[in-house]
């Protein structure tokens, strides 16, 4: 019986791992997890959290629109010097737009919350994003290593 369980586990575990790795990204779940992380780490009151996230979510929505704008250009890489020049200047202008947008929202946040609260929230938002990116990178890296091991065994 024990041997059957071990064999079953060996046969099923790769499928379970693959299903976990192929899981689709859920932006709403990510946002809620980030919100809970920031509230906990920055020790936000319900009122402060409501004020911060109202502005922060608006800012992030507008940032994503700017990110999409730069991503569109990656599908059609510039070929000539003139196209490259335009692409560089457009990227610079988009980054300036992004910084102006962040400045506008940071000023709004500072009008409704103390600076010490805003800086903690922004710090923990960045920390959360970095941690999630690191986790995703490690999962992807592990998946790649598993694929390489399998292809080497097949040779």
Main-chain phi, psi angles of 96, to 5 degrees: -65, -45
Q: What is the pLDDT along the chain (155 residues), one digit of tens a residue?
A: 555 444 544 555 555 445 555 568 898 999 999 999 999 999 999 999 999 999 999 999 999 998 887 776 667 788 899 988 988 898 899 999 999 999 999 999 999 999 999 999 999 999 999 999 998 888 777 655 555 555 555 55
Q: Distance between CA 98 and CA 84 in Å, rounded?
A: 21
Whole-structure pTM value:
0.71
């Amino acid at each position: 019986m024990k041997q059957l369980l071990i064999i079953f586990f060996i046969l099923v575990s790769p499928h379970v791992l693959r299903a976990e790795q192929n899981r689709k990204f859920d932006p709403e779940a990510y946002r809620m997890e980030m919100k809970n992380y920031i509230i906990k780490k920055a020790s936000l009151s319900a009122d402060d959290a409501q004020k911060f996230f109202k502005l922060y979510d608006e800012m992030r929505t507008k940032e994503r629109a700017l990110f999409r704008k730069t991503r569109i250009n990656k599908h059609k890489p510039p070929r000539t010097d003139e196209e490259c020049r335009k692409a560089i200047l457009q990227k610079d202008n988009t980054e300036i737009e992004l910084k102006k947008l962040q400045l506008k929202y940071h000023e709004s946040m500072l009008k409704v919350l103390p600076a010490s609260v805003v800086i903690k929230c922004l710090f923990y938002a960045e920390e959360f994003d970095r941690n999630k990116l690191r986790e995703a990178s490690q999962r992807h890296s592990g998946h790649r290593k598993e694929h390489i091991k399998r292809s080497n065994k097949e040779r």
